[in-house]
Every structure is written in C-alpha cells, then in structure tokens.
Amino acid sequence: MGFRTYLIRRIVYALIVLFVILTFNFAVFRLMPGDAEKMIIDPRFSPEARMALRKQFGLDDPPLVQYWKYITSLLRFDLGQSFATRRPVASELAERLPNTIVLFLTAFTLTMVIGTAVGVYAAQHRGTFAETFVTGAGLFTYAVPTFFFQLLLLMLFGYYIRIFPIHGTMSAPPPDGAFLRFLDRVHHLILPAGSNVIIGFGSWALYTRNTMLEALGQDYIITARAKGLPRREILYHHALRSVLPPIVTLIFLSLPGMVTGAVITETIFSWHGVGRYLMDAVLQQDYPAAQGAFYLIALAVIISNFMADLVYGLVDPRIRVGAGERR
C-alpha cells in the first residue's frame, strides 16, 4: 500500500469522526432541557407571531431537513447566535481563538523542547541525579491532577508571593507601548503555560530517556562504539536519529490531550479563550455557544489526530504497509 492510499484512508476516517461529532452535537443539543422555542419565543406572543418565528428559525422543518441545514451551516462556520450576549458565536470564538492558540503553542513547544532535552541528558548520564530527577518528575506529574497543581501555583505565586497576575490574558487597561504590552501578555502567560510545561515535561523526558536507552543497547551502537567513534557522535548521529520518529509521533499523539486540557487551564486562570468559553456556556445553558465551542475543540482534536497519523505514516513506512491490519 502506497502512501497515497494510506493518506486517503486517514482522510476518510477523519471525515467519519467529524460526521459522528456533528451528529452528536446535533442530537445532544436538541435534547437539552429548554429547547430553542422557549429560549427565543415569548409565551405572550400571538399564535401568528409564534408561527412566523418558528418558520423563521426553521423549527417546523422535518428533523432531517433541520439536520442537513445544521450540518451545512456548521461546515460554513455559521454557528448561530449566543443566548447570553446576542452576538454571533463564530465571531465570539474568533475573538478568543488567538488567545487559546498562543497559550497552547507556548506550553506545547516548551514542554516538547525541555522534555526531550532533559530526557536525552538523563539517558546520557545514567545513575546520576539527573536520572533520578527524570524518573521522579515523570511519576509525580503522572499522579498529580493538573488542575490541582495549577491551583497550587496560582495560590503560591498569585496570592502568597504576588509576582504573577491572578487572572486574564492582559492587564486592564493594557500598558502603553507595543513592547510593554507584549511584556504584559508574557507576564500573564507565565503561570498558565508554565504549569502545563511542568506537568507535561516529566513524562516526555521519561519517554525520551527510555527510548534512548533502548536505542543505545542496539547492535549498531555497539558497532559504532567498537569503531572508536566519540561518545557524542554516537549519541547524536546514531542513537538520537533512530529515536526521533517515535518521539515525533508521540508529540502529535499528545496534541488532543493538550487541546482538551485547555478547558481546565483556561477556567483556572480565567484565560479569555475557547475552553473557558465552553465552560461558561455550559454552565449558563447557552447552547449555541456551547455547541460552537465544542465543535471548534472537536475539530482541533480531529485535525491533530489526523496529523499524528500522517506523521506516523511518514516517519515509519511499516505503518503504511500494515495499516490494514493494524487496527
């Protein structure tokens, strides 16, 4: 099976998941307590006005027609109007998306870079403090609930030692000057992003270290060593090269988890982003808003899953060949 066939398979699969999520979205939000009619239409309206409104909102259409309209409008990112603010959900989300992306990318990049570096270092220095540190950090971050750790950091650095802001993406009003404004943003970013990095880098480092150690035990490494190549060269040219594919793959595989983790991080740090928007909407029973935010998050997860599959297939040809039997 060539890469193209593999690619097509993955695309079809991603579309199926998208379809399932759209259907879920449609079904659940229609079954939610308090339907659209009660939200929009006042009981004091005359029957004629009510009929006209029902027609306008398409509530009298048969379910299948409603479903079709729903799917097509969602694919066009027409997400309806928020009950709470009476603004289009799409523009509210567009306002928040950049904030989420900034937080997510910062946390993600730092986790990856620091985790991999620490892991390689630990594999190189076996039996030292570095190794104990990595094993301990891996175990610690596995057991500690992220939100608890974030609450602790918030209390420590936001309330006890007041060195970081306790909520928001920027000061209100923002300071003058582009550079100061940038610094202000970074200041707000440190706790939410940093907590994710601390929680995340341990398992990365541990994984990198383990795959490195496995690679260092391979025959070709022994050969390289026997040839008298310097340690550094063996490490970076031979060993690291062979462990990069699984690490890169795992990076992409961990994307969905980090996307969904944004909901809690943003709630704790009152980050003006998509995840907190979802939470607020759910708690306020603002269904169009919740639906839109969920759709966006689900889309992000589907895309990152697809990218993981893609990278997986690119770096490891065996996956492509065995794709039919793998699952």
Binding site for another protein (CB under 8 A): 13, 16-17, 20-21, 24, 28, 31-33, 135, 138-139, 141-149, 151-152, 154-155, 158-160, 166, 199, 203, 206-207, 210, 253-254, 256-257, 259-261, 263-264, 267-268, 278-279, 282-283, 285, 290, 294, 297-298, 301-302, 305, 327
Tell me the closest approach of the beta carbon of residue 281 to another protein, in angstroms. 10
Cβ atoms within 10 Å, residue 288: 20
| CA distances for 5 relative to 13, 79, 225, 277, 288, angstroms | 12, 34, 41, 39, 38
SS3 percent helix, strand, coil of the chain, rounded to 5, is 80, 0, 20
C-alpha–C-alpha distance, residues 195 and 158, integer Å: 13
197 three-state secondary structure: helix
First to last CA, the chain: 15
Judged by beta carbon, residue 224 or residue 281, the one nearer another protein is 281
C-alpha–C-alpha distance, residues 173 and 158, integer Å: 19
Judged by beta carbon, residue 150 or residue 224, the one nearer another protein is 150
Tell me the closest approach of the beta carbon of residue 13 to another protein, in angstroms. 7
Half-sphere exposure of 100 toward its Cβ, with a 13 Å CA cutoff?
Answer: 25
76 three-state secondary structure: coil
Tell me the closest approach of the beta carbon of residue 14 to another protein, in angstroms. 8
Judged by beta carbon, residue 181 or residue 214, the one nearer another protein is 214
Judged by beta carbon, residue 32 or residue 52, the one nearer another protein is 32
Tell me the closest approach of the beta carbon of residue 20 to another protein, in angstroms. 5
Judged by beta carbon, residue 4 or residue 162, the one nearer another protein is 162
Tell me the closest approach of the beta carbon of residue 230 to another protein, in angstroms. 29
